[in-house]
Structure 1
Amino acid sequence: MTFATADLCDAHEDRLADGTLRVLDPVFRLFGRAQCFSGPAFTLKVFEDNTLVRATLEQPGAGRVLVVDGGGSRRCALVGGKLGELAQDNGWAGVVVNGSVRDTLELNACNVGIAALATHPQRSQKRGGGERDVPVQMPGTTVRPGEWIYADVDGVLVSATPL
């Protein structure tokens, strides 16, 4: 897969203007070997509990991007090395986390793209809470299930339809 988010923005200025193409705030760090990834969004809303994240990544990803609204928490990690391996092994194109990750050396060895706000060594709770397949608030915009995510080293885009 080859694209540049900067080129996509240049080619679709009309869509940026009408809001069918949006840019997440530039607060994400990239992890994983896939420094460029895209696919339809599958959304989760959780808070300091990654039970639903694990359950979702255990399922076939079919080239989708898991978008996790973790409420922006930097008090624990929602994705670590084992979940990065699950994402890779189950065919997820990437994971975008409005929260923290850990085990970055392990994540960087995975053939999947991961964007997150920060790193934190502490694991999350395991209470089993959260919602799936709902609109989620990410830094800069709302992401709806099925919208397209395009991410690279320059940023993360959200498109109402494939570009």
Structure 2
Amino acid sequence: MTISTADLYDERGPELASVSLQFRDFGGHQSFSGPARTVQCLHDNALVKSLLGTPGEGAVLIVDGGGSLRTALMGDMIGESAVHNGWAGVIINGAVRDSVALGGLPLGVKALGTNPVKSAKDGAGSVDGPVQLGEVTIQPGDMVYADPDGILIAPTP
């Protein structure tokens, strides 16, 4: 991403939704952007792993983990898969693990925090439906812009 979220908001203002939840940066890229793909899951990362194992084509995966920090929804091995498959970034409303290793990957990663506990692998949840980050609803295909200042969403027309 070549423009900061603050500058982008100054240019486009009300057409952008700002996510007010406070995420931490864990990936090697703190600024990233791309069209949204979505997963909704709670304490189960099977859908996250499966989707990040497919071609991302520069997309950003938004994971609604319900804000739970009880288990990690992504670690270094899934992060490496995302890099290998061309994803721009992953934003997790939940926890990650292997945070030091994630910091060495050329991938944008934002999450609420960390927890070394693995999640279930049952495949519970849904893919490519609307997800909620705070007060912002994100649809698949919406444009996501993220940097250290925050996350902006441009709804698809």
TM-score where L is the length of structure 2: 0.96
Displaced runs of 4 or more, over 3 A? none
User: How far apart are the structure 1 equivalents of 2:44 and 2:130?
Assistant: 18
Q: Percent identity?
A: 50
Q: Does 1:145 align with 2:140?
A: yes
Write out aligned runs for 1:29-48 (5 A). Answer: 29-48=24-43
| 1:155 corresponds to which of 122, 126, 150 | 150
- Mapping for residues 35-114 of structure 1, pairs under 5 Å: 35-114=30-109
* TM-score when normalising by structure 1: 0.93
Q: Secondary structure at the match of 1:7?
A: helix
What is the distance in 1 between the residues matched to 2:29 and 2:134?
A: 22
Deviations along 1:105-155, one digit per CA (max 9) or x if unpaired, are 110011000010111111111111110010001123111110000000000
Structure 1 residue runs of 5 or longer lacking an equivalent are: none
Q: May I ask how many residue pairs the two structures share in their alignment?
A: 157
Q: Aligned partners of 2:131, 2:30: CA distance in 1, in Å?
A: 23
Residues in 2 aligned to 1:117 and 1:135: alpha-carbon distance in whole angstroms? 20
Q: Which residue is 2:19 aligned to?
A: 24
The one of 112, 119, 143 equivalent to 1:117 is 112
C-alpha offsets along residues 25-51 of structure 1, whole Å, 9 cap, x if unaligned? 141001111111000000111010000
Secondary structure in 2 matching 1:79: coil
